[in-house]
Amino acid sequence: MPVTCKEDKRSLTALVAGELDHHGAKTVMEELDRRIDAAQPRELTLDLSGLTFADSSGIAVLLRAHRRMGQVRGAMRVVNTPDQAGKVFRAAGLERIIRFE
Amino acid sequence: MKIENQVTLEFPSRSANEGFARTAAACFAAQLDPTLEEVNDIKTAVSEAVTNAIVHAYPDTLGKVLVRLRIREGNALEIMVKDWGVGIADVERARTPLFTTGSEERSGMGFTIMESFMDTLKVRSTPGKGTSVTMLRRIARRAVR
């Protein structure tokens, strides 16, 4: 479950690829925590274009990143959400909390 | 509803098997000629049920997880996920959105996702004996192209 990060000034872009299930979620969470703590970004962009599957473990990953960004007083947006993952996130009402573009 | 085909998978509660179980379910469901969205719904629901068995049924041990897939009359897929783990004391509460006994990695949305992606969901559980989750999803017949 690879996470590839790009930093530009104080904005951090994280590309999450592969399958985001319980098996892979912990690694992604820890990597995002580490990158957010190190970069202290004003904005985090989660790019999900490489995501091939997500279940409710993905919901937990997004909520955790969102909370972490709140702690460092930054904003978060999620881009390029594939249809399958988007349906899971909508079923949980995530669009009321997180900015999807 | 008559059973037209059936397959049973059995594996230890290792998280690496989550991907295997949902992919196997998707392959078996292919004979119903589902749309991509229907296949994705099946994969997602199986992933949730199997993850519950792996995370919650056997918190400190490895145990057996069984997935039985059946094609039922009327172009329907029945999925049963069974474990012999700790069981759920209060099934109604477990089905409540955001309820979880798990760590921060869990969202508490597993049953909500299964309910919204499947047509029916039945949960049977006995504390100390185990849990079985049975779901049914009808696949719309498409016109012959």
**Cβ of A60 and B106 within 8 Å?**
yes
The CA distance from A64 to the nearest CA of chain B, in Å, is: 8
Mean pLDDT computed over B76-92: 94
Could you tell me the residue range of the domain that residue A66 belongs to? 3-100
**Cβ of A53 and B47 within 8 Å?**
yes
> CB contact, 8 Å: A91 with chain B?
yes
> CB contact, 8 Å: A88 with chain B?
yes
Looking at every residue in chain B, the average pLDDT score rounds to 93
Per-residue pLDDT of chain A (101 residues; tens, 9 = 90+): 589 999 988 999 999 999 999 999 989 999 999 999 999 999 999 999 999 999 999 999 999 999 999 999 999 999 999 999 999 999 999 999 999 99
Neighbouring residues of B139: CB distance < 8 A, sequence distance ≥ 6: B29, B32, B33, B34, B38, B75, B76, B77
pLDDT of residue A61: 95
**Domain ranges in chain B?**
3-138
pLDDT of residue B20: 97
**Cβ of B105 and A25 within 8 Å?**
yes
Chain B residues touching residue A84 (CB < 8 angstroms): 40, 43-44
Residue B105 has pLDDT above 80, yes or no: no
Residue B145 has pLDDT above 60, yes or no: no
What are the residue numbers of the active site of B? 48, 52, 106
Nearest beta carbon to residue B107 from set A19, A60, A83: A60
**Cβ of A56 and B19 within 8 Å?**
no
Number of folded domains that form chain A: 1
The CA distance from A83 to the nearest CA of chain B, in Å, is: 8
Q: Distance between CA B59 and CA B120 in Å, rounded?
A: 27
Please list the alpha-helical segments (H only) found in A1-101: 22-39, 56-71, 83-91
**Cβ of A53 and B22 within 8 Å?**
yes
Alpha-carbon torsion B26, B31, B34, B35, what sign?
Answer: positive
**Cβ of B40 and A87 within 8 Å?**
yes
> CB contact, 8 Å: A57 with chain B?
yes
Token pair 């991509």: residue: B36
Question: A25: domain CATH number?
Answer: 3.30.750.24
ipTM, 2 dp: 0.91
Top residue of A19, A30, A55 to mutate, by most chain B CBs within 10 Å, is A55
Q: How many CB atoms lie within 10 A of CB B47?
A: 29
pLDDT of residue B108: 82
The CA distance from A24 to the nearest CA of chain B, in Å, is: 9
Domain B3-138 sits in CATH 3.30.565.10: yes
Residue B103 has pLDDT above 80, yes or no: no
Q: Distance between CA B94 and CA B109 in Å, rounded?
A: 10
pLDDT of residue B144: 60
> CB contact, 8 Å: A87 with chain B?
yes
Confidence of residue B79 (pLDDT cuts 50, 70, 90): very high
Query: Which tops the pLDDT comparison, A91 or B107?
Result: A91
Please list the alpha-helical segments (H only) found in B33-96: 36-52, 91-94
